[in-house]
């Protein structure tokens, strides 16, 4: 069976934790988009792992982990990430990287920084990992792909064609230019380290599907950061929607069995852009501190708000989500007043959808449903029935409003701090 895990908000929903948790049911875990802008944390037996480009099945030695075509990869940072894992004792892992994935080149980082500076107040608040410039080069057909480092002659020819164009752009934004020989040597030095991992992952995945393997596609970011459907321009440069898995991993769309949408019990966002249910007050500060809402990649304090179900429902409807995974519910203990945003008010009208223009979205005011708060610590609860009545009402409200069942409830960062409400493998 093929499962897709999609973030339904602005990222950081807890994808790393639930992927690691689901990995015991999987043969393969695959990242299909994004790059090291993602930061996925998982905690296993008290040890915290912060993954960026590596799929979150990497801790489990039985899993084959894949970084597919739709990803952009900073190979130098990937090697650092692998070395950090090795230092933590994770030496026995299976990793395949798509030869078609694009390489985040050092100049992409310079350009990401330069564009943000030039945008001044209009800046996106990117992670400055070179994501936008790398995906732009892919679309402009100026990219360098992972498979190119296995073919030195081709790589040199490609750099001879592309680098002058990149140097021209770098000169225009007052950044230092790159020397071809130097860049070539740096990239070629990676060949012996990575060559055993680089394959045609498209064929590998299609074969695995024919053999009825269990595969989980682990999304990065979240639906509201989708390049095509999010709060453009305050988005990332790929599509985190389950809809994009087919193209990003070269598998037929009909082979996807289930889409699991993952959401926090509240809302967060890092970077600039509209956020209707944002709490710029003491309640927001409390949620930030209790939930440790600081970026895994950039350490920036995350912006925090009440749960926005307009956002969540929009994503569920776009990607046909079958089940929900509700994360960080423990953080809402003692949060009073406890509210859920169900609609927006736009220019005096009540609406139940995300307006398509940023200026309209910026004018939206939240309409809230007040929920009953609970005071009990729920972090040790492992059975749904043991949750306080008010907590169950909060979950039921989400299910009824979205018309989607909650399958997993997460009450702490650790792998074990999870309540299974529905069996997604046997329905
Ligand atoms: P991802 O990008 O979607 O993988 O999410 P991040 O790892 O960036 O952010 C989620 C954070 O919440 C991490 O620090 C996790 O360890 C933590 N976390 C995940 N689930 C829970 C939970 O149920 N309760 C609490 N308190 N923390 C959680
Ligand atoms: P995970 O996978 C939260 C945000 C950045 C910025 C915008 C564009 O951990 O959920 P980019 O560097 O992609 O060009 O930045 O997208 N962003 C994320 N926010 N979680 C992420 O990933 C993010 N990846 C990018 O903060 O607003
Ligand atoms: Mg994250």
| CA atoms of 106 and 147, how far apart (whole Å) | 17
**Alpha carbon nearest to ligand 1 atom 9, residue:** 12
CA 88–ligand 3 middle distance (angstroms): 20
| CA atoms of 198 and 65, how far apart (whole Å) | 12
Q: Which atom of ligand 2 is nearest to the CA of 272?
A: 27
Alpha carbon distances (Å) from 92 to 4, 17, 95, 201, 272: 25, 20, 10, 20, 39
For residue 342 the two structure tokens come to 């169900």
Cβ distance 14 to 412 under 8 Å?
no
| CA atoms of 361 and 371, how far apart (whole Å) | 25
Helix (H, G, I), strand (E, B) or coil at 290: helix
Could you tell me which residues are beta bridge partners of residue 268?
Answer: 304
The predicted structure's pLDDT at residue 298: 79
The predicted structure's pLDDT at residue 297: 77
Q: Ligand 1, residues 220, 413, 415, 418: which to mutate, most atoms within 8 A of Cβ?
A: 413
Sign of CA dihedral 243, 248, 253, 258: negative
413 touches ligand 1 (CB under 6 Å):
yes
Q: Which residues are catalytic?
A: 12, 40
Count of beta carbons in the 10 Å neighbourhood of residue 250 = 20
The predicted structure's pLDDT at residue 299: 85
Give residue for tokens 């009440």: 306
15 touches ligand 1 (CB under 6 Å):
yes
Residue 305 is inside which H or E element, if any? strand 303-305
**pLDDT tens for each residue of the chain, 427 residues long:** 999 999 999 999 999 999 999 999 999 999 999 999 999 999 998 999 999 999 999 999 999 999 999 999 999 999 999 999 999 999 999 999 999 999 999 999 999 999 999 999 999 999 999 999 999 999 999 999 999 999 999 999 999 999 999 999 999 999 999 999 999 999 999 999 999 999 999 999 999 999 999 999 999 999 999 999 999 999 999 999 999 999 999 999 999 999 999 999 999 999 999 999 999 999 999 999 999 999 877 788 999 999 999 999 999 999 999 999 999 999 999 999 999 999 999 999 999 999 999 999 999 999 999 999 999 999 999 999 999 999 999 999 999 999 999 999 999 999 999 999 999 998 7
Q: Which atom of ligand 1 is nearest to the CA of 291?
A: 26
Three-state SS string over 211-223 comes to: CCCCEEEECCCCH
Q: Which atom of ligand 1 is nearest to the CA of 16?
A: 4
**Alpha carbon nearest to ligand 1 atom 12, residue:** 14
Smallest-distance ligand from the CA of 16? 1
Q: Any residues with Cβ below 6 Å from ligand 2, and which?
A: 7, 10-12, 37-40, 124-127, 129, 131-132, 220-222, 225, 234, 236-237, 270-271
Contacts 24+ apart (CB under 8 A), 180-187: 180/156, 183/105, 183/106, 183/159, 184/152, 184/155, 184/156, 184/159, 186/76, 187/75, 187/103, 187/144, 187/148, 187/149, 187/155
The predicted structure's pLDDT at residue 295: 86
Residue 226 backbone class (left: φ over 0; alpha: ψ -120 to 50; beta: rest): beta
- The contacts of residue 427 (CB under 8 Å, 6+ apart) are none
For residue 54 the two structure tokens come to 């590596």
Main-chain dihedrals φ then ψ at residue 296, nearest 5 degrees: -70, -35
What pTM, to 2 d.p., does this model score? 0.97
Cβ distance 70 to 248 under 8 Å?
yes
Smallest-distance ligand from the CA of 327? 1
Main-chain dihedrals φ then ψ at residue 283, nearest 5 degrees: -65, -45
Q: Ligand 2, residues 5, 6, 7, 11: which to mutate, most atoms within 8 A of Cβ?
A: 11
Cβ distance 261 to 327 under 8 Å?
no
| CA atoms of 255 and 244, how far apart (whole Å) | 13
For residue 295 the two structure tokens come to 């970026």
Cβ distance 423 to 401 under 8 Å?
no
Start-to-end C-alpha separation, the chain: 12
């Amino acid at each position: 069976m093929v499962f897709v895990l999609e973030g339904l908000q602005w990222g950081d929903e807890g994808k790393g934790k639930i992927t690691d948790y689901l990995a015991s049911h999987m043969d393969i875990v695959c990242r299909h988009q994004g790059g090291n802008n993602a930061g996925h944390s998982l905690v296993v037996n008290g040890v915290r792992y912060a993954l960026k480009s590596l799929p979150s099945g990497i801790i489990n030695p039985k899993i084959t982990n894949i970084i597919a075509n739709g990803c952009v990869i900073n190979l130098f940072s990937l090697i650092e990430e692998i070395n950090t894992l090795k230092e933590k004792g994770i030496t026995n892992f299976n990793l395949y990287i798509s030869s078609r994935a694009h390489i985040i080149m050092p100049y992409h980082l310079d350009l990401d920084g330069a564009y943000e500076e030039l945008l001044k107040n209009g800046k996106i608040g990117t992670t400055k990992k070179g994501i936008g410039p790398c995906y732009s080069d892919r679309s402009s057909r100026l990219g360098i792909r992972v498979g190119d480092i296995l073919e030195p002659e081709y790589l040199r020819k490609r750099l001879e064609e592309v680098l002058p164009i990149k140097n021209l752009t770098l000169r225009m934004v007052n950044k230092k230019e790159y020397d071809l020989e130097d860049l070539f040597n740096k990239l070629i030095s990676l060949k012996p380290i990575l060559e055993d991992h680089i394959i045609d992952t498209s064929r590998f995945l299609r074969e695995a599907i024919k053999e009825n393997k269990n595969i989980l596609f682990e999304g990065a970011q979240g639906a509201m950061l989708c390049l095509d459907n999010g709060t453009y321009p305050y988005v990332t440069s790929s599509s985190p929607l389950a809809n994009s898995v087919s193209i990003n991993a070269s598998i037929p769309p009909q082979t996807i069995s289930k889409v699991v949408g993952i959401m926090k019990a509240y809302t967060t966002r890092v970077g600039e852009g509209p956020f209707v249910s944002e709490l710029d007050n003491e309640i927001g500060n409390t949620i930030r501190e209790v939930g440790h809402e600081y970026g895994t990649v950039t350490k920036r304090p995350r912006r925090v708000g009440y749960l926005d179900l307009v956002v969540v429902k929009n994503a569920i409807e776009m990607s046909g989500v079958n089940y929900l995974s509700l994360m960080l519910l423990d953080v809402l203990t003692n949060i009073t007043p406890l509210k859920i945003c169900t609609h927006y008010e736009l220019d005096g009208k009540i609406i139940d959808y995300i307006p398509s223009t940023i200026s309209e979205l910026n004018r939206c005011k939240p309409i809230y449903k007040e929920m009953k708060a609970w005071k009990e610590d729920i972090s040790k609860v492992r059975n749904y029935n043991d949750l306080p009545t008010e907590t169950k009402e909060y979950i039921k409200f989400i299910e009824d409003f979205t018309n989607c069942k909650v399958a997993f409830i997460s009450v702490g960062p650790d792998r074990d701090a999870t309540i299974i409400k529905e069996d997604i493998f046997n329905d």
